[in-house]
Homo-oligomer: A and B are copies of this chain.
Amino acid sequence: MQPIRLGLVGYGKIAQDQHVPAIRANPAFELVAVATQGQPCAGVENLQSLGELLENGPHVDAIAFCTPPQGRFGLVRQALAAGKHVLVEKPPCATLGEAMALVDLAREQGASGLYAWHSRYAPGIEAARDWLASRTLQSVRIDWKEDVRKWHPGQAWIWQPGGLGVFDPGINALSIATHLLPLALFVESAELRVPDNCQSPIAASIKMADARQLDIRAEFDFDHGHDELWSIEIRCAEGVLRLDNGGALLSIDGVRQAVSEEGEYAAVYRHFQQLIKDKASDMDLQPLRLVADSFFVGSRTLVEPFYD
């Protein structure tokens, strides 16, 4: 079988660290072009923009989008209109409306789309899903607490309107929880704590439920310098499942379980390959919808100003 000829748009840190190594390690893909205005990518044709790539670049079957979510909507639309399959980094778009419209457009075009919620491919997730499938769920508790100064030093965009604040890491937790749980989740209430010199929350408490009234609570904290944790604990009638380190570690009733050894982005691209083969899409809106609804119905409390 011929490899899928892939273009990539936005050759920044996540593309360099994760996407390009995962693509090059997967013989089903051939990276043939990169559109970037910064540092060029070695060994492929580099172009100034998506428009130039589509017009003057080598033929591609699919395009991976690693530019920031602001402005990505028009680019992905352009690629879909040109008949390309698309892989879109998280969060897919600046607004839920944009993300919803791309789902419709991919369907209309018969293209394969993937909203790449990469945390869903963390090592412990598949084993967790398998274990949960036959269990009786009782409650879910998410703790996602890290030090923004360490992970996003000087990144003012996080705090601006449309920046996700603590939901930037938090959306990863929501992407895992929605992948693990059998029914859709709904925001019942949210408390957003916003530094009084910022627009986006530095901490949040979210209460969610599904149609069976499963109690799901999330605590997000972005100003947590000591003992960072990224954990999801699911209490079932049969025992307690716990994911730690963002899904890298899995334990059941305190006993460490065997997990996958495949990297997150290796699994992302393997999934994309399968979607293209199956002429299918996986453009799940749910994590972004939970964030938008948290902003929509959440109460806001001003807290002390944030200085980087």
Interface residues of A (CB under 8 A from B): 73, 77, 94-98, 100-101, 160-162, 184-187, 189-190, 199, 211, 285-286, 289-293, 295-300
Q: Which of B186, B189, B292, B298 contacts A98 (CB 8 A)?
A: B186
Q: Which B residues touch A97, using CB under 8 A?
A: 184-187, 286, 289-290, 293
**Which single residue of chain B is at the shortest CB-CB distance from A160?**
B299
CB neighbours (8 Å) of A184 from chain B are 97, 101
CA distance A293 to B96 in the complex (A): 6
**CA–CA, A158 and B158, complex, Å:** 29
Contact with A199, one of B187, B289, B299 (Cβ below 8 angstroms): B299
Set B73, B77, B186, B296: member contacting A101, Cβ < 8 A: B186
Q: Which of B162, B186, B291, B292 contacts A73 (CB 8 A)?
A: B186
A185 to chain B, nearest CB (A): 8
Q: Give the interface centre of A100, A187, A297 by most chain B CB atoms within 10 Å.
A: A297
Q: Are B296 and A95 closer than 8 Å at their CB atoms? A: yes
Q: In the complex, what distance in Å separates the CA atom of A161 from the CA atom of B100? A: 25
- CB of A297 within 8 A of CB of B211, answer no
* B186 contacts A161, C-beta separation under 8 Å: no
For the complex of A and B, 6 pairs with smallest distance between CB atoms? A161-B299, A162-B297, A95-B293, A292-B296, A295-B296, A97-B186
B-side contacts of A190, CB under 8 Å: 161
A74 to chain B, nearest CB (A): 9
Given contacts A73-B186, A186-B98, A186-B101, contact A296 B291 (CB under 8 A): yes
Cβ–Cβ contact B211 & A95, under 8 A:
no
> Is there contact, CB below 8 Å, between A94 and B199?
no
Say yes or no: A289 contacts B100, CB within 8 Å: yes
Shortest Cβ distance from A97 into chain B, in angstroms?
5
The answer for the CA separation of A297 and B300 in the assembled complex, in Å, is 15
Taken together as a complex, chains A and B put the C-alpha atoms of A1 and B172 apart, in Å, by 54
- The residue of chain B having its C-beta at the shortest distance from the C-beta of A285 within the complex is B100
Bound complex: CA of A296 vs CA of B288, how far in Å?
10
Q: Within the assembled complex, what's the spacing in Å between the Cα atoms of A278 and B124?
A: 48
13 A-B pairs with C-beta separation under 8 A? A77-B211, A94-B297, A96-B292, A97-B186, A97-B289, A98-B186, A100-B289, A161-B189, A161-B190, A162-B189, A291-B296, A292-B292, A300-B300
Residues of the B chain whose Cβ atoms lie less than 8 Å from the Cβ of A189 = 161-162
A128 vs chain B, min Cβ distance (A): 23
Q: Which residues of B contact A186 (CB under 8 A)?
A: 73, 95, 97-98, 101
Kindly list chain B residues whose C-beta atoms are within 8 Å of the C-beta of A292. Answer: 96, 292-293, 295-296
For the complex, give the distance between the alpha carbons of A27 and B237 in Å.
Answer: 54
